[in-house]
Structure 1
């Protein structure tokens, strides 16, 4: 498949490196400081510097977030940090006091926003770790985040995406159409279509009352967590927005929804969550629907981000597994442990 129309092609990345090197002296780095590409996902993430002088630069995908939406993300992060809810990165300003940068693009294409963050030590948990323990910790942290967002009064200009059924699988399709999933055949489309119908019905029944729907991180997957000793830190609020509280568990098991220990991780997460916030039977029962909601959304995301390494690595297999999980979900046999 051609890379035409895709975001982070090699030519784009090569150009970004030049612009990043032009930016970093305003943050106190030498122009020849180490610039390492850490990850290409929704955005391109770079580690700047080395040793005791490191920062993380996030270069945004075009046309995903506006300047105001990024400012809103940073406002929530700063209030979380200052309130001591959980350790999160600090958005850094350059020598002119500017926090949200705009890197130029060529050929009449809009520039890309970029934000420099403080470096947080730690490592992301893996499936080989003692995940039930860390999911208990994560559940507690997530409940604290939800309690904070419910009590917090955001600035009047605050704007973030709304992650509802229409945004995930409907007309707004923020991450693309699930029907365009990599290697998805007609039989698979029919099965997933039935699963989406069931999801929309279940979410409609569950509702969006303020005690179950509000400002959430929305991407608390393993890659966005850092373990540092006995502490759990949270990074990357780029997808934060308004959604169901229980959706944060679904995001936590992103890309591992097919593993047999998901019910154990759910129970551990709920144990931690219930230490800080109430959990109803309706909350617990909606979790399989939330996980399938996220899984199908990720399938669409992989298709609309075909140029990134993860899509090339797992795209077809992920689609195949999603069809299998949809069949289990339709028979009420998913996450029954």
Structure 2
């Protein structure tokens, strides 16, 4: 496990020493918000001004990849595509800073604070996923038309890097509580998904730069505004995968078809979406479910993984069994 107490103490110390680069005192109020791929902190100055700091996990994104993410976020804000926090440069104008943690380099990015709460089952999720479909359509259109800066680089999320031999989030086969029977079911599911995604292809009409993590935890509702945060996993993938990522940890819910229909309807208000791509959404939901099953196995120290555990693995097997029956 990466994020243990000793490491978190070092990260907060390194962040505090870096705060003056943003004009904040080292003794500013700092609190840990979340650990996932990265450690995210909230810092407050004496006037109550809030800033979000993201301390990056080592050996995940390169400096060039992080700078590329921040460049896209800045462009999306400038072009009015999506409501998302502003990236805050250091006082010398750099979008990124870093500090040494032993032999590792820890990159720090800062963002303005965005108000709101994540939508949940008590909210009108169908309404918000309809709006999310519109946001995704605008975002995908922008990604196709945007002149990317020289050196722009982000990860590619295809079958191999999602659940294949080069899976960036680990092996689904290491999922907690996975039985021999369950392994066989998921193995067959993975083989089918490989065949299906190969047939679906990665043409320009269906594959490009996406957010790749618009799950409820990365959405902030404040009144009628739906804000989107955390572009840390943005990369090149299927446009339809943005929907699959948006229903992360909701794949088993009975209202999933309603969210899917709302997302498609919202998307089509802003941009074309073929029937072929709309029909492929369940395939990408299953692919994402298997990716998250692997993520839980490799990120056991996070609160999300702890809250899911063995039941999530069992649910993945059940969904895989149903998927095989429906696509056999």
TM over 0.5: yes
Structure-1 separation of matches of 2:180 and 2:4 = 30
Deviations 1:149-171 (A, max 9, x none): 01112112011010000111112
Partner of 1:67: 63
- For the 8 Å contact 1:202–1:286, the answer to whether it is kept is no
Partner of 1:48: 43
- For the 8 Å contact 2:82–2:227, the answer to whether it is kept is yes
Structure-2 separation of matches of 1:26 and 1:112 = 15
Moved over 4 A (4+): none
Match of 2:93 among 75, 97, 105: 97
Q: TM-score, normalised by structure 1?
A: 0.94
Equivalent residue of 2:276, what SS?
helix
Pairs within 5 Å for 1:292-303: 292-303=286-297
Equivalent residue of 1:68, what SS?
helix
Partner of 1:129: 123
Structure-2 separation of matches of 1:127 and 1:10 = 33
Gaps of 5+ in 1: 1-5
Equivalent residue of 1:215, what SS?
strand
Larger mean CA deviation between 113-122 and 141-150 belongs to 113-122
Partner of 1:226: 220
Structure-2 separation of matches of 1:32 and 1:102 = 19
2:7 is the counterpart of 1:12: yes
Equivalent residue of 2:144, what SS?
helix
Task: Indicate how the Cα distance of structure 1 residues 96 and 156 shifts in structure 2: closer, same or farther if over 3 A, else same.
Answer: closer
Equivalent residue of 2:195, what SS?
helix
Partner of 2:113: 119
Deviations 1:79-105 (A, max 9, x none): 111000011112111222222111221
Note the C-alpha offset of 1:52. 4.1
Match of 2:270 among 276, 281, 290: 276
Partner of 1:3: none
Deviations 1:246-275 (A, max 9, x none): 100000100111110000000011110010
Partner of 2:81: 85
2:181 is the counterpart of 1:192: no
Gaps of 5+ in 2: none
Structure-1 separation of matches of 2:178 and 2:192 = 19
Note the C-alpha offset of 1:29. 2.0
Equivalent residue of 1:270, what SS?
helix
Structure-1 separation of matches of 2:174 and 2:53 = 31
